[in-house]
Amino acid sequence: MELRYPLGHPMEGVSMDLSFVITTETESLDFGDAPDQPYPTLLANDGARHVISPAIFMGTLIDAESDGQPDPQALGDDTATLADEDGITFTSGWVVGQPMTFEAVCSTSGFLSAWMDFNRNGSWADGGETVLSMTPVGPGTNALGFMIPGTAGTGTNFVRFRFTTQPVTISYTGLVSDGEVEDYLVVVQDESVPTDDFGDAPDSIQTPGYPTLLAHNGARHGVTPGVYLGNSIDSETDGQPSNNSDGDDLAGLDDEDGVSLPAILTAGMVTSVQVVASVPGFLNAWIDWNNNGTWIDPGEQVFINQPLAPGINVLPLTVPLPPMINAGGPHSRWRFTTYAPTVPQFTGLESDGEVEDYEVHLEVLDFGDAPDPLYPTLLSNNGASHRIPSAYWLGLVAPDLEPDGQPDSQALGDDNNGSADEDGVVFNGS
């Protein structure tokens, strides 16, 4: 660039050459991830996007993208950098003609808007598809919901949620100056579909296992809004048996989240389980300790009408000793109701609540007894352990079982717990 002084200036005729760089600060943006074409997600289609303000978001975090992240399952934003699509938790199923409920976690006070493609035509622009419009929300968890109309189509559907602190009406597309957008894939069921919650322990018509299928009078609960284990509940037309007891998670909502068990349950262990209930109620639970494919054996009902309070309940659990326990990966069943059943069963219908099945890992183990944490001995530190009984051992005395490592300052803990089986190595003095 050449700069010249104007006519009449004392330095008229003098010129100088200049060069410079124009810079601009780029704003970080959060985009959605619903499938683009039909839905507006990409920048080229004026996709929904928010200028990122570090303290204004849904859930626990927010990340930036250079463009929309369209994905057939609305998971593109989770798989691009951080998994930040965590602001909305669905607490009911999606049934035509029925209300659905959800919880929205917001970092601060603001406004929530949402759109659902009820007629499944690939657009959120149709009448009645704005399900929330600038609904006030506060910091923390907000319990909300809307009605699914009787004319809604069944099958997969997409919902877009947008949160902002700006008190202005917004659309499902375009730029908003703060907040976050989150898109979700949901499955809408016909109102004629039975709204029961089933279990998912292994079972089949050809090879009956645990009673999960309706044909075997599988455990099931009538879905009552607000009554469940964990964060949510969905409904199924029948049991969802699977080898890992995760069929219910893979069908509809991932709602098997109410019970937290230790990764390994060892014979003789005294431990605890964490059970989360939505309302006051009662828990009945069974663990197939002997790994024979049924919960009918004595001692396998581990909780009988155990009272639960809303929120987290920490309950004691004692793992039995052989011959009552066999190592392996059997299954457990956990049933929650607002009432105490007269005769609790691991099968059949209850009028409210939820059933959740979990695979468990049972072991009968021999542990070491070196001082811990200096040496890894305890189970929590991945201490050395061996499955027993075994045809092979050190010394003359077969190893005995321990529920956990037996750390001792002189490495005598295993001898002082049960039989003195630490006899396999002898040091000869010189």
pLDDT in tens, 371-400: 999 899 887 888 887 777 767 767 777 777
CATH for the stretch 29-188: 2.60.40.2950
Q: How far is CA 298 from the centre of its chain?
A: 32
Planar angle of CA 184, 190, 195, nearest 5 degrees: 90
Q: What local confidence, expressed as pLDDT, does residue 298 receive?
A: 95
Task: Give the residue from 51, 366, 324 showing the smallest Cα distance to 177.
Answer: 51
- Cβ neighbours of residue 392 closer than 8 Å, sequence gap 6 or more: none
CATH number of 196-363: 2.60.40.1930
- Reduce the DSSP state of residue 131 to 3 states and report it: strand
Q: Do domains 29-188 and 196-363 have the same CATH topology?
A: yes
Q: Which residues of the chain have pLDDT under 70?
A: 1-26, 79-81, 83, 93, 192-195, 247-255, 390, 393, 413-415, 417-418, 423, 429-430
> How many beta carbons lie within 10 A of that of residue 167, not counting itself?
9
The rounded percent of the chain whose pLDDT value lies above 70 is 86
What is the predicted pLDDT for the residue at 398? Answer: 73
- What is the predicted pLDDT for the residue at 407? 85
Predicted TM-score of the model (pTM): 0.51
Domain boundaries in the chain? Answer: 29-188, 196-363
Ordered DSSP codes for 361-421:
-EE-EEE--S-TTTS--SGGGT--EEESS-S--SSSSPPPP-SS----TTS-TTTTSSS--
Query: Token match 């579909």: residue?
Result: 193
The pLDDT value given to residue 145: 94
Cis peptide before 323 (omega within 30 of 0): yes
